[in-house]
Amino acid sequence: MDRDNIAKLYEAHFMRVFSYCMTLSGDRMLSEEITQEAFFRAFMKREDYHGGSSEVTWLCTIARNIFIDKKRRSGRLESLDDMSEEIADDSAGPEQTVADRDQSYRIHKLLQELEEPYREVFELRVFGELGFKEIGQRLSKTESWARVTYHRAKLKLQERMADQ
């Protein structure tokens, strides 16, 4: 893999890997660090990539392993509850902004309560913007398993939202 191919790989997949890292950690700086390290490791171990999965799946796997290593070293899982506040949309009125934040918080809280593998599949699909095939590869399952699991997760979230 030469310098041009590395640059193309980085440009093509940076946002997807970064989004996935944000899903895992909820911390922008940590996500940037993990993403950079994932690309560095991918470059250093480029001979290990044989095309068995997509490049983005390979990169996300590296990123996830880095995240797990960091989690083990720190002895705790950084919670998505520690995410920094989103910047409010200036076009929305204060009432709408409060309502949107309340709704976002409720969804976020319910998502954290969602059992695995539903939560991880939902996060990979929505926040990581991965396709069902990539999710299946990432979790060593089939594409149809990923699709069904995602839809079940979505239904569970909708049911729990309706119950509140």
Same domain? For 92 and 51 the reply is no
Contact status, residue 18 vs residue 35, Cβ threshold 8 Å:
yes
pLDDT digits (tens, 9 = 90+) for 7-44: 788 888 888 888 888 888 888 888 889 999 998 888 88
Q: Is 129 left (phi over 0), alpha (psi -120 to 50) or beta?
A: left
Domains identified in the chain, total number: 2
Do 5 and 49 sit in the same domain of this protein?
A: yes
Q: Which helix (H) or strand (E) holds 126?
A: helix 118-126
Identify the domain containing residue 21 by its residue range. Answer: 1-79
Give the domain-ending residue among 26, 51, 79.
Answer: 79
* CATH number, domain containing residue 144: 1.10.10.10
Domain final position from 45, 79, 113: 79
Domain boundary among 61, 79, 97: 79
Query: Is residue 141 packed enough to be buried (19+ CB in 10 Å), middle (13-18) or exposed (0-12)?
Result: middle
CATH number for 66: 1.10.1740.10
Say if residue 55 is in the same domain as residue 12.
yes
Lowest mean pLDDT across 8-12, 99-103, 137-141, 158-162: 99-103
Per-residue pLDDT tens for 76-95?
A: 444 433 433 333 344 445 55
9 and 55: one domain?
yes
Do 66 and 91 have their domain in common? Answer: no
